[in-house]
A and B are shown apart, each in its own frame.
Chain A
Amino acid sequence: MEFVSGKAIKLGKVENELDRFVVELARILEKHTDYAIVSGYVAILFGRNRASEDIDVIVRGFSDFGRFAREILGNGYWIMNHDEPEGACRMLEDGLAIRIAKKGTWEPNFEIKLTKMDTDRYSLENRIRVDLESGAVFIGPLELGIAFKLFLSGEKDIEDARFLYGLFREHLDMGKLEYFVRRLKVKKPYDKYLSWKK
């Protein structure tokens, strides 16, 4: 993998079925809104050896959700938690997530929600483009992603944080990472699981 700039990474991986699912759906999504993939899939994208049933995606909002829904449905996907696009749009506006998968399947699925918190907005404004052979995907910034994984604090989350930290530590902005660690109050797990590797 190659850091093209602070905002782009070129990844020459052999894509797996999960990557293909993400690239195809992201290609449709980006025509309708800005998005950033956050949480578990980011670690998987860069090589973490585990599966994930949902891909967490933050979006800025849709100018025309009906048009997005029609394109999704016309390309062999379904919105899992509402039969009607209008209802799915209301769910998003109410702060709930909608889930999209290939028709007839439940996983993997995109779990899409609108930006709500400052951390969501930061992820979108500082997203990183990852160029794969079949297309590009946008992910949230690594420093916030790692600190947030420590905040979630499950064993799987700490493993993801350790993986991303180990892989990218020469490229991370340590000042930013430590800022997020302080703001999310995760200094203790940071010291225990990550910073010993500095």
Chain B
Amino acid sequence: MRFDLNALKEYKKRNFEDRLRFIDSWVDYIKSHTDVEWSEQQKMLINKKS
């Protein structure tokens, strides 16, 4: 099996940049909605994991 390390590094970089963009959007959502609205969604995610 061959591993294209340059392609994998590029994938990792883009994935991180994409997550940062998602965080920015989520911050905008939190700021423009009530605490109850965003936290109901967070609760579903965290309670599922814990």
Contacts and interface: CB of A to CB of B under 8 A. Distances in A.
A85 interface: no
Contacts of B39: 13-16, 47
A96 interface: no
B8 interface: no
Contact-residue bracket for chain A: 20 to 34
Given A1-B35, A167-B27, A17 B46 contact: yes
Given A51-B45, A166-B27, 16 more contacts: A11-B35, A13-B39, A14-B35, A14-B43, A15-B43, A16-B43, A16-B50, A17-B46, A108-B50, A155-B16, A155-B19, A159-B20, A162-B23, A166-B23, A166-B24, A167-B27
Interface of B: 16, 19-20, 23-24, 26-27, 30-31, 34-36, 38-43, 45-47, 49-50
A47 B30 CA distance: 8
Contacts of B26: 47, 49, 163
Given A14-B36, A47-B39, A47-B42, A167 B50 contact: no
Nearest to B26: A49
B19 A17 contact: no
Give the residue among A49, A159, A163 with the most B Cβ atoms within 10 A: A49
Interface in A13-60: 13-18, 44, 46-49, 51
A138 B35 CA distance: 19
A136 to B, nearest CB: 15
Contacts of B42: 13, 16, 47, 49
Nearest to B24: A166
Contacts of B23: 48, 159, 162-163, 166
A144 B38 CA distance: 26
Contacts of B41: 49
A193 interface: yes
A51 B45 CA distance: 8
A12 interface: yes
Contacts of B34: 12
A17 B27 CA distance: 22
B46 A44 contact: yes
Contacts of A15: 39, 43
